[in-house]
Amino acid sequence: MSLQQEVEFLRNIPLFSKVDPTKLKLLAFASERLAYNDDQILFHQGDNGDAAFIIMEGNAAVLIDTENGAIEVARLKKGDVVGEIAILCNVPRTATVQAKGQLTTLKVKEDTFFQLVTEFPQIAVEIMRELAARLERTNAQLRDALNKKAS
Amino acid sequence: MSLQQEVEFLRNIPLFSKVDPTKLKLLAFASERLAYNDDQILFHQGDNGDAAFIIMEGNAAVLIDTENGAIEVARLKKGDVVGEIAILCNVPRTATVQAKGQLTTLKVKEDTFFQLVTEFPQIAVEIMRELAARLERTNAQLRDALNKKAS
């Protein structure tokens, strides 16, 4: 994909739809494109993390390690952002992310990420919405797990 | 508390430390102060929500309903924000929040909330950090619940 194609691609992701193309060019330029094969790991739960990932193409599974092995708690698709918790909170990776089939991501480093969200409140709002939605799903899973444990 | 005292108070909350006092005056003016007694409910899980709450004084419990009754999943203190998930995601309240002892909150309506986060990226970043931290805690509780279920 050329830089121009990548900018076009980013513009079609809801997260970036309101961002000026010149800025998207800088984002694409400052970020690293990574390709993964089926089952390859983006990062492991417990790793240190200094970057977030935008799913450009393909799917990935979010896995939580338990004593009985990994449990898939979410499935990521094109346009989703993942890995921002570790950079927002300065904590190790809270889950493992694994490619499901061929996957391409844009790796956005910590400083680029903060530059983006402070310069574009709309991106900040979208990421807030995404975090809130994920929190809501996790709360539902927790309720479910607590109910099953009790019954 | 006078409006001026309230502005002073808001400035001492990390979330607002970088916001211009004039803007904090507008926030204080546009928002509603609410006082609760011990055990009073701010909102119930499942309610529709059109406002977030900033804890001004006192503590509150975040409760999740399960088949075996409510379980406390977090405790809120001065300066914490709660209730923003419902307005960010347009979903019903995902938990119940209950005063623990005397509690005072600032009720920030949906439009004021969005105005704040788009005008002050620093507030957006702080709220993102808070959501991410909460997501991390919830993931840990989920891991714990899944482990216990399995064992």
Which tokens sit at A134? 């994920």
pLDDT of residue B125: 86
Alpha-carbon gap: A101 to the closest alpha carbon of chain B (Å): 25
Evaluate whether residue A60 is within a structural domain: yes
CB contacts of B118 in chain A (<8 Å) are 121-122, 124-125
pLDDT of residue B145: 84
Residue B142 in contact with residue A138, Cβ under 8 Å? yes
**pLDDT tens-place string over residues A26-59:** 888 888 999 999 999 999 999 999 999 999 999 9
CATH of the domain at B30: 2.60.120.10
User: Does the distance separating the beta carbons of A129 and B128 come in below 8 Å?
Assistant: no
Question: A147 at the B interface (CB within 8 A)?
Answer: yes
Evaluate whether residue B151 is within a structural domain: no
Quick check: pTM over 0.90? no
Minimum CA–CA partner of A139 in chain B: B138
Eight-class DSSP state of A46: T
Quick check: helix, strand or coil at residue B55?
strand
Residue B2 in contact with residue B29, Cβ under 8 Å? no
Minimum CA–CA partner of B141 in chain A: A142
Is a pLDDT exceeding 90 seen at residue B29?
no
pLDDT of residue B150: 58
Which alpha helices (H) appear in A69-120, and where do they start and end? 84-89, 110-119
Evaluate whether residue A151 is within a structural domain: no
* Range(s) of the domain holding residue A68: 3-145
Question: A46 at the B interface (CB within 8 A)?
Answer: no
| Interface ipTM | 0.78
Evaluate whether residue A150 is within a structural domain: no
Question: A90 at the B interface (CB within 8 A)?
Answer: no
CA B20, B13, B48 angle in degrees (round to 5)? 95
Is a pLDDT exceeding 80 seen at residue A1?
no
Evaluate whether residue B150 is within a structural domain: no
Sign (positive or negative) of CA dihedral A126, A127, A128, A132: positive
Is a pLDDT exceeding 80 seen at residue B151?
no
Mutation pick from B138, B141, B144, B147 vs chain A, by most beta carbons of A within 10 Å, is B138
Alpha-carbon gap: A1 to the closest alpha carbon of chain B (Å): 31
pLDDT of residue B103: 97
**pLDDT tens-place string over residues A122-134:** 888 888 888 888 8
Mean pLDDT of A126-148: 85
Domain count, chain A: 1
CA distance A66 to A46: 13
Evaluate whether residue A129 is within a structural domain: yes
Eight-class DSSP state of B151: -
Cross-chain CB nearest to A142 (options B124, B132, B145): B145
**pLDDT tens-place string over residues B72-118:** 988 999 988 899 888 888 888 988 999 999 999 999 999 998 888 88
Instruction: Provide CB contacts within 8 A for B6, sequence distance 6+.
Output: B28, B33
**pLDDT tens-place string over residues A103-129:** 999 999 999 988 888 888 888 888 888
